[in-house]
A and B are shown apart, each in its own frame.
Chain A
Amino acid sequence: MARTVPPPDSLREAWSLAGVIYQEFSFQSIYALKQGNVLDPSSSQDPLKAVRKARSRVAQSKLMVSLLLLFVIVAGAFALTRGGAFGIRLAPVDYATSVIAGQLLLLFSLLWMTGLQIAPTLTNSRIFNLLATLPLPERQNRRVATLLLLHVFDAPALTALVLLPLADGLATGSLSVGLLVLPGTLLTVVLAAAVALYTASFFVAQVSGSRGGTRGNSALRWAYLLLWSLPSLAITGFVSFSSQILNTLGLWEVNNPLAFQSLLLVFPFPFGYLPAQAALPGQDPFHLLFGLPFWLAIAAYAALGVLAARWLFTAPMSVSLQQPKSSRGATGTFPPLRRSSPTGAILQKDLRVASRTPGYAFLILLPLLDAFVLGLSSYVAAPGPAAAGHYALAAVTVAALLATFFGPAFFATEVLGYSFTRTLPISRRTLLLGKASLIVLIYTVASLLVMGLVAFRVGNPVPFLVFALAELPAVLGAAVLELGVLFNRAERTGIPLTNLYSGAWWTMLVVIPGLVVAGIPLVFYAVGQYYHTLWAVPSMALSALALLTVTGLWALGGRGRAA
């Protein structure tokens, strides 16, 4: 029997085209270097194998995001079953509301962050340029672009839509809770996808195209990037401070009920309040269910969701065809050129590329914002110098551990340019040290930021400074180790990671030994504190120096070896 050919503007045809484009999208996000003709020989020999490999890598990364979501869902469901067990002073219904709202907020942040990582690839890969020239109705092209977006978000979105209502329903033993969690989850998924796409397109248009050179433009670019780090900051902040946040809400509930009621109208709290009411019927202390504002808020968010969904049906195509906005004010005058040392040039180039590439920009800001938040909490919340000191040490520890995620990130900044860089007389040692020095610079700035914030609260800042300095060689050692592993892989295959989303497993594999190197001196410090306080910092510093020596000898050996 002859196969029926679907009409060119049918949904079936759109789905099929989206599948083809998704294949290209996966390929480009993994093998961005294919045009540099430095694919590994086995891939050149069997292109289909390379395509399958790319699809499998992207699928693995989606699985990893889904697993993270699963963790959030299960942790939230567990918290629902243990209401009041953590000493949180919050009415049971408000506790349940806050936990479900927290789950939705984390879902929003995780999807936003994922979207920010991959949405620029949608633009950079220019995969729709060809489609736009084919004799297909514009509506069909838009539909294909939207279906591609669906392909990209499918696993995390399905995980959320199925497992979040199921887990909360099981945790509360109520089917209606599960059913009432579903609309909030759906709305969150739609809003997160829309916000991710909008902020990514805004970034491509405004930041990628911004003129370098002037301080004002650089400041503007960094200001945009602060926005970029919001989702990741929300995730770390909420996970780290969940009990403090819940306790603060408890204080508001008692001391400032009006503010608390207003908060319950802010997304996603209303979508936590409704299932919480189903779990604990008859507990509506503020009589919100009988008030117009609550239902008006629900209607407004639902309307926003519909608008976002409609926008998602039209926007992906225009975003994918978008070009960075060409900056104004170009003159006919030749700009001055500044020359630096090779290591400095790599550091500066990486900083420039990372600050203009959404996927990496938030990584730079994350430890700085983390240091700021922890430092600020130590200033505001710590009762005395000792507690403030502990907060400060925690902030530096977190900054050191976060820095271990930079190795893959700064290596990935090479992407297409790596095939050109490899033709320059640049040694592996110089390239590696340039990137490692940027990582150390960020750690140092984060540490100084904490010190600046707690300077007035910590009685004696010397131990804090010594702690930060003692850890520094381990941060450098971790960076050198991770970059060494990545360079070895790139030498073998010619492929650096292209982004943290498409190379998520590799990122994790590389980061784990880095975390071990950065973590060992901290363990020495903790053990030293336990046995003899005086030994803590010296043992930490010695272990950090030993680790730097070992990793340095391994990664930087072979003088004059080209990159």
Chain B
Amino acid sequence: MPTSPGSDSPPLQVEDLVIRYGSVVAVDGLSLSVNPGEIYGLLGSNGAGKSSTIKAVVGLVKPTSGSLRVTGLDPAQHAMEVKGRVGYVPETPLLYDALSPREFLEFVGSIRRIEPAALARRAQEFADALQITSDMDRPLATLSNGARQKVLLMVAFLHLPPLLVLDEPFNNLDPRSVRIMKDLLQSYVRDGRRAALFSTHTVEVAQQLCHRMGILDHGKLTGEGTFPELKQQAALPDGSLEEVYLTLTSEQESVTRAVRLLAEEA
């Protein structure tokens, strides 16, 4: 039975998710849930399955098996409703290059049926805060990757979705904008009605921002919880998140070996 945001269903629930591309298993039996008021960080190296998981949540990739629930709704059964409740920032800022940010916002605002005054107000607030007001009428093709990323962030927040799905959202952003977006994200979920699934391979960002983290390795969850809980799981009570991450993904030894080899070569 479909439920509305704010009900008992968590913003995101993933159970035993498997995603295969031919013989390649990108996600292998992943289970996690993102609770209201929470920023959940997916940490993992390239190819760990973070982006495939996120693409399944937003409907870009069909899961091979397992179940996904976004605010209680199955994206396969209720694709339109789910897409209406999610704000998404893709890993690569692929947009309609021929459009300007203003035209792109008009397009998304019309599709999402955002009330015109609210659309204009929120877009202006974002553009001013992220300092891209003067870029609003330039074609996206002419903008820097950072400016394109800001446009995508604006679009993700525009309709105030119950679930934000952010795939490496701070890529290409300047430090000022990263700070603004981090603070905004924290205040966005603070009221306990909204949540965010956040993918990154930058451990410092995850540590600062996320209430809980899931560490993905070869499509499997090798650790999950708050930072203290992860330290416990890695048996590193005084370790940094980087050390915890490398231990839980069994990468510590290979990192040490690679550094030694490279240092000798240099």
Contact = CB atoms under 8 A, between A and B. Distances in A.
Interface of A: 35-38, 41-42, 44-46, 124, 208-213, 323-327, 330-342, 344-346, 348-349, 352-353, 356-357, 416-417, 419-420, 422-427, 560-562
A334 B134 CA distance: 8
A425 B112 contact: yes
Interface in B94-149: 94-100, 102-103, 105-114, 116, 119-120, 123-124, 127-128, 133-139, 141-142
B83 A419 contact: no
A436 B113 CA distance: 21
Contacts of B84: 425
A562 B133 contact: no
B139 A324 contact: yes
B141 A337 contact: no
Contact of B102 (A209, A337, A353, A562): A337
28 contacts: A35-B94, A36-B94, A38-B60, A41-B20, A41-B22, A46-B22, A208-B97, A208-B141, A209-B138, A209-B141, A209-B142, A210-B139, A211-B138, A212-B139, A327-B138, A333-B133, A334-B123, A337-B106, A342-B113, A344-B110, A345-B106, A352-B99, A353-B98, A424-B108, A424-B111, A426-B111, A561-B79, A562-B59
Contacts of A208: 97-98, 139, 141
A356 B139 contact: yes
Contacts of A336: 120
Given A209-B141, A426-B80, 5 more contacts: A330-B134, A330-B135, A353-B98, A423-B59, A562-B80
B60 A330 contact: no
Contacts of A560: 80
Contact of A349 (B96, B128, B137): B96
Contact of B110 (A323, A342, A422, A423): A342
A36 B99 contact: no
Interface in B15-62: 20-24, 51-52, 55, 58-61
A326 B138 contact: yes
B92 interface: yes
B21 to A, nearest CB: 4
A340 B112 CA distance: 10
A335 to B, nearest CB: 5
B243 interface: no
Contact of B60 (A213, A331, A339, A422): A422
Nearest to B22: A45
A103 to B, nearest CB: 36
A322 to B, nearest CB: 11
Closest 5 CB pairs of A and B: A45-B22, A345-B110, A562-B79, A425-B84, A356-B98
Contacts of B61: 37-38
B124 A334 contact: yes
Nearest to B152: A420
A124 B109 CA distance: 27
A209 B141 CA distance: 8
A477 B131 CA distance: 46
A35 B84 CA distance: 24
Given A334-B128, A357-B98, A423 B141 contact: no
Contacts of A331: 134
Nearest to A353: B98
A64 B120 CA distance: 48
A309 B118 CA distance: 56
Q: Is chain A's interface secondary structure helix, strand, loop, or mixed overall?
A: loop
Contact of B133 (A334, A337, A345, A425): A334
Contacts of A419: 60, 90, 94
Contact of A44 (B24, B98, B111): B24
Contacts of A212: 99-100, 102-103, 137, 139
Nearest to A330: B134
Contacts of A42: 22
B245 interface: no
A37 B51 contact: yes
Interface of B: 20-24, 51-52, 55, 58-61, 79-81, 83-84, 86, 88, 90, 92, 94-100, 102-103, 105-114, 116, 119-120, 123-124, 127-128, 133-139, 141-142
Contacts of A327: 137-139, 142
Nearest to B113: A342
Contacts of A416: 94-97
B111 A425 contact: yes
Contact of A340 (B99, B102, B110): B110
Contact of A427 (B59, B80, B116): B80
Given A326-B138, A341-B110, A423 B103 contact: no
A353 B99 contact: yes
A423 B54 CA distance: 11
A339 B106 contact: yes
Contacts of B21: 41, 44-45
A332 B59 contact: no
Q: Which of B23, B83, B110, B120 has the most CB of A within 10 A?
A: B110
B250 to A, nearest CB: 26
Contacts of A335: 102, 136-137
Contacts of B112: 424-425
Nearest to A39: B21
A424 to B, nearest CB: 5
A283 B48 CA distance: 78
A352 B140 CA distance: 13
B182 to A, nearest CB: 23
Contacts of A46: 22
A302 B90 CA distance: 53
Given A44-B21, A209-B142, A423-B88, A330 B111 contact: no
Given A339-B110, A420-B95, A332 B137 contact: no
B133 A332 contact: yes
A333 B136 CA distance: 9
Contacts of B135: 330
B100 A349 contact: no
Contacts of A341: 110
Contacts of A426: 80, 83, 111
A341 B106 CA distance: 10
B109 A337 contact: yes
Contact of B94 (A213, A338, A357, A420): A420
Contacts of B113: 339, 342
A422 B62 CA distance: 13
Contacts of B60: 36-38, 419, 422-423
A562 B83 contact: yes
A427 B84 CA distance: 11
Contacts of B114: 339
B119 to A, nearest CB: 6
Nearest to B131: A332
B111 A342 contact: yes
A323 B59 contact: no
Nearest to A562: B79
